[in-house]
Amino acid sequence: MKTVHAVLPAGVDDRARPSGGNTYDRLVCSGLAAAGWDLREHLVGGDWPQPDRAALAQLADALAAVPDDALVLADGLIASAAADVLVPATRRVRLVVLVHMPLGVPDGAARDAERAVLTNAAGIVTTSGWTRDRLVEWYRIDPAQIQVARPGVHIAEIAEPSPAGGELLCVGAVAAHKGQDVLLDAFADVADLSWRCRLVGSLDRDPAFVATLRTAAAAFDDRVEFVGPLTGADLDHAYRTSDLLVLPSRGETYGMVVAEALAHAVPVLVSDVGGVREAIGDTGAGLLVPPDDPRALAAALRRWLTDADLRARQRGASADRRATLPGWPDTVQQVAQALAAAGTPIR
């Protein structure tokens, strides 16, 4: 039996703070176990990717318990921020780093640390081709060392659209990087039209940002609802009762919520950032706008809300994309390939 040690953030199963990265980690790990891997989890606490000494010590202890020559799959949220622990460990274990969002920060020391981890790893998995290309560009990593394993979906029940298309959904932690402030600004330009929007996502990541949004939302009476985090059947219901997913993010490596919406044949209106085009595919199943541009977002919303033909075309394209989305078994297989290719034992 093949054994892999998975090093994951301790909050991977925190239902109060769901994230695409946590969902990906959990489904890949369960998929590997179902495929016959002996998967051994090591959950590491700390405020990753900004660990304190205690978090780094906990990571070091977890790795110390791993046998020589072992195969280690480490979430990049931890790995990219722990060069002092992981680079020495690569002399003893075969490290594969799962990169959801590369740090890519302006801080030279942090970038050097991330580069050190990735260039010493036995393999790298990224969740999009966009992320792979950034690692090649920033760190001069050989593309052959990188396996792209895009997130899968569970094909779901098709949503029932409302006649006017005004049931809007925004899914993501309510925080500045997800751009809900841009969406609220855009709503001011379409206040004359009929719509409602549910903001689904954690409300405790940036309380000051949430407070500012609540103040702005008051101008729209009860048309903007702060739902909080949803998972499982509750999140599925949110997609099925929506007409359009709006994702105004300032950055996305792939956009798992885009794929999840399309799995319900729900059209999407998204910022043209990162790897979102990979999630949308080539069926024309998405409306793209520049990031951080509330006027462009408002114009796209107005088109959506006033043009029944556009809505029909987008629903058809979304149904076409639904049929071509990868499933989670595909993702697991690609991660397994990266693990198998991670090299021969070190000794």
Per DSSP, 327 falls in state B
pTM: 0.94
Are both 143 and 177 inside the same structural domain?
no
CA dist 169 and 162 (Å) reads: 13
Are both 179 and 270 inside the same structural domain?
yes
Q: How is residue 334 written in tokens? A: 């690609």
Are both 8 and 24 inside the same structural domain?
yes
**Cβ within 8 Å of residue 296, ≥6 positions away:** 289, 290
Q: What is the 3 state secondary structure string of 68-123? A: CCCEEEEEHHHHCCCHHHHHHHCCCCEEEEEECCCCCCCCHHHHHHHHHHHHHCCE
> Amino acid identity of 346?
I
- The residue segments making up the domain with residue 193 are 167-322
Are both 79 and 178 inside the same structural domain?
no
Q: How is residue 333 written in tokens? A: 């297989």
Whether residue 214 lies inside any domain: the answer is yes
Are both 118 and 12 inside the same structural domain?
yes
CATH number for the domain harbouring residue 54: 3.40.50.2000
Burial environment of residue 267 by CB neighbours within 10 A (0 to 12, 13 to 18, 19 or more): buried
Whether residue 345 lies inside any domain: the answer is no
- Tokens 């969406």 identify what position? 183
Are both 227 and 317 inside the same structural domain?
yes
What is the number of domains present in the chain? 2
Whether residue 277 lies inside any domain: the answer is yes
Q: Are strands 3-9 and 38-44 parallel, antiparallel or unpaired?
A: parallel
Q: ω before 329 within 30° of 0 (cis)?
A: no
- Tens of pLDDT along the chain (347 residues) come to 699 999 999 999 988 888 999 999 999 999 999 999 999 999 999 999 999 999 999 999 999 999 999 999 999 999 999 999 999 999 999 999 999 999 877 778 889 999 999 999 999 999 999 999 999 999 999 999 999 999 999 989 999 999 999 999 999 999 999 999 999 999 999 999 999 999 999 999 999 999 999 999 999 999 999 999 999 999 999 999 999 999 999 999 999 999 999 999 999 999 999 999 999 999 889 999 999 999 999 999 999 999 999 999 999 999 999 999 999 999 999 999 999 999 665 54
Whether residue 39 lies inside any domain: the answer is yes
Are both 20 and 138 inside the same structural domain?
yes
